[in-house]
C-alpha cells in the first residue's frame, strides 16, 4: 500500500498526518508501520526537526475478464517518494509546509481497454505509462490560516486534494482504483495544475476556491508557458451529511 499524506489541524496545533508513528527497528517486520523501521532513531529525529520522507511501491495485476478487446492481464507498478518540510520546526513560521512528491509508473496498464470512457486505474493513468511520461513531480506550499482554513500554492496534483473522505481519494491505490471513485471528473478541473487554492472545511461544509493555469501541467516542469491560454477559476461548496451516523 502507498502511504499518502494529508495535512490538517487538530486540537489547536497544526500538524502533518503522514502515519509517522514509527516502531522500533527490532519489532517484527509484519508489525511495522514502515518497511525499514526507524533507521536506528534517525527517522524520528528527522521528523522532530521538520523533515519527513516517505517512499512507497505499489504493484497491480489487472485485466479485463470479459468484453471486446485485449483480455490479457498486465503487471504494473507505481513508485512514489514524498518529502514534507514543517516550516515551524525548521525555523520559519507556524502552519507552513512545503511538499514535494515524485511518482514513477512502470510496466503496463489496462486503461482504455473494452471501450471504457474513464480510466479504470488512476494510479497508472497519471502521470502516464509510456516513455518519458512515466514520471512527474509536484511541488507546492501549504499555509494554515486556522484549524479549518488553509491556502495551497504551487504545482498541485488535484488527486491529492481529493483525499477528503474515506470514500473518495486514496490516489488510486488506497480505496478505489476507478477515476469516478478516486476523483470524479467535472469537465473543468485538470489533473495537475499550477495555481492557488483556498480551502475551508468543518463538520458541516467544505468550501474550495481556486484559480490556476488553464492548461494541464501533467509531465510539464518549469514556468515558461504558464497562463499562455488564460486562467481557470473554480469554486465548490459541499454540505456534509451524517446519514445513519456516517459522514458523507
**What is the C-alpha separation between 111 and 44, in angstroms, rounded?**
39
Across 22-26, 169-173, 208-212, which has the greatest mean pLDDT? 208-212
Q: How confident is the model at residue 12 (pLDDT cuts 50, 70, 90)?
A: very low
Question: What is the reported pLDDT for 34?
Answer: 78
pLDDT value for 187: 64
Placement of cell 484559480 in the chain:
211
Reported confidence tier of residue 177, pLDDT bands at 50, 70, 90: confident
Rounded to an integer, what distance in angstroms lies between the CA atom of residue 77 and that of residue 105? 6
**Residues sharing a CB contact under 8 Å with residue 217, sequence separation 6 or more, in sequence order:** 155, 190, 192, 193, 194
Confidence label for 121 from pLDDT (cuts 50, 70 and 90)? confident
pLDDT at res. 8: 42
| 8 contacts: CB under 8 Å, gap ≥ 6 | 15, 17
Does the structure show a pLDDT above 90 at 4?
no
∠ CA(234), CA(238), CA(243), 5° rounding?
160
* pLDDT attached to residue 184: 67
Yes or no: say if 152 and 144 are a contact pair by the CB < 8 Å rule: no
pLDDT tens-digit map of 185-243: 766 667 888 999 999 988 888 888 999 998 888 888 888 888 988 998 988 888 878 78
Residue 77, pLDDT > 80, answer: yes
E-assigned strand segments in the chain: 6-10, 13-17, 51-62, 74-86, 96-107, 135-144, 149-157, 192-201, 205-213, 231-239
Amino acid at each position: 500500500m502507498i502511504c499518502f499524506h494529508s495535512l490538517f489541524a487538530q486540537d489547536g496545533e497544526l500538524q502533518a498526518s503522514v502515519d509517522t508513528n514509527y516502531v522500533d527497528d527490532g519489532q517484527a517486520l509484519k508489525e511495522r508501520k514502515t518497511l525499514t523501521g526507524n533507521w536506528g532513531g534517525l527517522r524520528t529525529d528527522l521528523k522532530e526537526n521538520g523533515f519527513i520522507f516517505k517512499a512507497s511501491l505499489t504493484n497491480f495485476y489487472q485485466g479485463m475478464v470479459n468484453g471486446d478487446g485485449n483480455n490479457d492481464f498486465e503487471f504494473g507498478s507505481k513508485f512514489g517518494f514524498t518529502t514534507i518540510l514543517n516550516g515551524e520546526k525548521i525555523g520559519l513560521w507556524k502552519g507552513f509546509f512545503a511538499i514535494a512528491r515524485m511518482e514513477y509508473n512502470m510496466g503496463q496498464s489496462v486503461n482504455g481497454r473494452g471501450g471504457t470512457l474513464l480510466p479504470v486505474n488512476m494510479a497508472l493513468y497519471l502521470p502516464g505509462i509510456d516513455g518519458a511520461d512515466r514520471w512527474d513531480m509536484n511541488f507546492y506550499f501549504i499555509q494554515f490560516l486556522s484549524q479549518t482554513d488553509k491556502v495551497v500554492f504551487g504545482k498541485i496534483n488535484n488527486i491529492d486534494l481529493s483525499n477528503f473522505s474515506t470514500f473518495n481519494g486514496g490516489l488510486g491505490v488506497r480505496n478505489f482504483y476507478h477515476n469516478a471513485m478516486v476523483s470524479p471528473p467535472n469537465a473543468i478541473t485538470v489533473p495537475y495544475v499550477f495555481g492557488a487554492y483556498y480551502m475551508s472545511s468543518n463538520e458541516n461544509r467544505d468550501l474550495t476556491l481556486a484559480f490556476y493555469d488553464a492548461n494541464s501541467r501533467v509531465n510539464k516542469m518549469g514556468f515558461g508557458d504558464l497562463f499562455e491560454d488564460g486562467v481557470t477559476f473554480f469554486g465548490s461548496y459541499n454540505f456534509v451529511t451524517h446519514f445513519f451516523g456516517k459522514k458523507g
